[in-house]
Amino acid sequence: MLTILYDGIAYGMLLFVLACGLSVTLGLMNFINLAHGAFAMAGGYCTVIVVNRFGVPFALGLPIAFLVTALLGGIFERTLYVHVYARSHLDQVLFTIGLVFMAVAAVDYTMGSSQQFVQIPEALQGQFEVAGVGIGKYRLLIIVICGLLTVALQLILAKTRFGSRLRAAVDDQRVARGLGINVGVVFGITFAFGSGLAGLGGALGAEILGLDPTFPLKYMIYFLIVVTVGGTSSITGPFFASILLGIGDVAGKYYVPKLGAFVIYAIMIIVLIWRPQGLFARGAVSR
Amino acid sequence: MSARADEVARYLKRRARWSPLEIAFWIFAFATIWLFPGKYLILKDTAILALFALSLDLILGYAGIISLGQAAFFGLAGYFSGLVAKYGFIDEPVIALVCSGVVAAGLGFVTSFLVLRGSDLTRLMVTLGVSLMLGELANRYSNITGGADGLQGVEIAPVLGLFRFDLFGHNGYVYCLIVLFICFVIARRIIYSPFGLSLRSIKGNNLRAAAIGIPVKWRLVAIYTVAAGFAGIAGALLTQTTAFCSLDVFSFERSADLLLVLIIGGTGYLYGGLIGAVIYKFLQDWIANLTPQYWQFWIGLVLVVIVLIGRERMAGWIGAVRAFFNRLGARFAPRLPALGGAGSEGH
């Protein structure tokens, strides 16, 4: 029971790191980015290449994954995404689905369609017992890293000048522009950072979520659930949504394994009908 | 006042008249039965895809609802028609086809209330969620659906007791084409009716539409239900002509490809789905011959390029071609002044 809770929290934390970039893009630019998972996949494969082929230590592989994906996100944002912000939602959906298809086929071509595994140092494998609960070392690492990241994100968002600019831009883009905030630059940086986080999540999660070319399609719906259920106005909303989703998914797969992800989809639809703006949205957001 | 009403009625009637180009299109469509005897399988798939795209066009092009979940209706009706044929509940394929359409429309009616709430993103999520849920259910109850192996042992009786589905797919193709034509005529009738006009006004501006007395919600529920029925008929056609149904009828890719089909052809004029299906199948066949494994990459590239170029500009060349044929047609039949409203307006 507690083990399920523990695994669920680790899973949820991972989902949060993967999806929080998406929540910002959606909240800030009202942009539906279905290709977010592709960046996570890029991070995962980056780690696989660096760690398995070049023998770089795992601890160094993670920041590399972050940097490479952030760079990739930044480049894509400046060259391609900027053209699509002002378009209709239909165009955005088409555009990002196209990117996903391309990413899936390109990775399939270069890396093969089989599942990839990152070589994790032995110190992180296995588990130990605390009060009768099996604690996986790797999952503990995930919880620690993601927890620290969450706190750091919250601090950046609440305490720094950049954070207040970002919040202003999310709340009301036009007024923010009027106050002299360069929303485009704020957004570009945030997009790159969010992609980097997704890449880091993908690298960390390769062990738990599995890593193969269909990754962006498989987990797209999960990221979207986190964002839509959590709302886009803060990062606490998506955080709780991902923890709930993580625990719900692990518990669902443990207790009713045959139903698979059915439970999650059902919960999502019920929540969306009950609160179309998300569980943790504050008031009505006029968008 | 009544003179004005007469005038409007006359205008609508003239607008709904079949143009020579449309007649030529359908004559060509039926001529393919004799023109390309070796290509029945791909032609049949194209006809089914065209019907499926037509169903999406009804809700996306005319009512402005973005959906990533048309596969739900396609798949449900596919399994339904397979099961009734397998266990011999309904032997006659035509009746089974109609029943599958009705079942899918029923699901469409029920889910329409979920879909009509919330923003675009919520709609995307709910439509996608419904089709994924059905996929999970089909996987769960593998004792009924065959699970990952697909529904096997389906035996389809001859159509109307006369035409057996043969190995070359000749009868199957003719059957699909006739069904497509009938559904198209129904869709065309709906679109050119006052009901269809009210849908356009809802898409244009739903607040104003409500202000002039159009019951927005019920109109959307109605068109969503009808579109679900059409998608269901397409799914049932696929099962009947292949005597097989597998889990991938519910897949996300199916809904996403469908969007691409419709975008290639252009939304908001009935032929968009049909033309898109032909181009898409042709592209897919061609690319799959070049690189069998990675054709998805090129499909993705097409999507990205279409969006970057701009759908309006894409629709522009289709509009130019149509204008040319309209002028050509004007020599043979007296026509009304060109009507706007074709092509794809942004959402």
Cβ atoms of residues B173 and B47 within 8 Å: yes
Where do the domains of chain B lie? Answer: 2-332
Of the listed ranges A255-259, B229-233, B283-287, the one predicted with least confidence: A255-259
Average pLDDT over residues A197-215: 83
Who among B252, B304, B347 is closest to A102 (CB)? B304
Element holding A133 (H helix, E strand):
strand A133-136
The distance of B258 to chain A (nearest Cα, Å) reads 11
DSSP SS3 for A123: helix
In the prediction, which pLDDT does B1 show?
A: 55
Smallest CA–CA distance from A259 into chain B, residue:
B140
In the prediction, which pLDDT does B321 show?
A: 66
* Size of the A and B interface in Cβ pairs below 8 Å: 136
State whether residue A270 sits within 8 Å of chain B by CB. Answer: no
User: Residue A198, CB half-sphere, CA atoms under 13 Å: how many?
Assistant: 34
In the prediction, which pLDDT does B337 show?
A: 43
Contacts of A102 in chain B (CB under 8 A): 296-297, 300-301, 304
pTM: 0.79
Would the pLDDT of B207 be above 80? yes
Average pLDDT over residues B182-202: 88
Q: What is the distance of C-alpha A128 from the center of its chain?
A: 28
Average pLDDT over residues B241-248: 81
Q: Which domains, ranges and CATH numbers included, belong to chain A?
A: 2-274 (1.10.3470)
In the prediction, which pLDDT does A287 show?
A: 38
Would the pLDDT of B166 be above 60? yes
The distance of B145 to chain A (nearest Cα, Å) reads 14
Local confidence band at B102 (pLDDT 50, 70, 90 cut-offs): very high
For A91-108, what is each residue's pLDDT tens digit? 888 888 888 888 888 888
Q: What is the mean pLDDT of chain A?
A: 81
Average pLDDT over residues A36-55: 86
| CB spacing of A84 vs B307 below 8 angstroms | yes
Who among A93, A220, A260 is closest to B136 (CB)? A260
A 10 A CB-CB count for B163 gives 14
Would the pLDDT of B43 be above 80? yes
Cβ atoms of residues B243 and B86 within 8 Å: no
- Pick one of 1.10.472, 2.60.40, 2.40.128, 1.10.3470 as the CATH number of B2-332: 1.10.3470
Question: Positive or negative, the Cα torsion across A253, A256, A259, A264?
Answer: negative
Measure the CA–CA gap between B97 and A79, rounded to whole angstroms: 48
Helical residues (DSSP H) of A112-235, grouped into ranges: 137-159, 161-171, 173-178, 183-209, 215-230
For residue A84 the two structure tokens come to 């699509």
Contacts of B122 in chain A (CB under 8 A): 228, 272, 276
Who among B68, B117, B136 is closest to A276 (CB)? B117
Q: What letter does residue B268 receive in the DSSP assignment?
A: S
| CB spacing of A97 vs B128 below 8 angstroms | no
Who among B126, B136, B307 is closest to A272 (CB)? B126
In the prediction, which pLDDT does B230 show?
A: 92
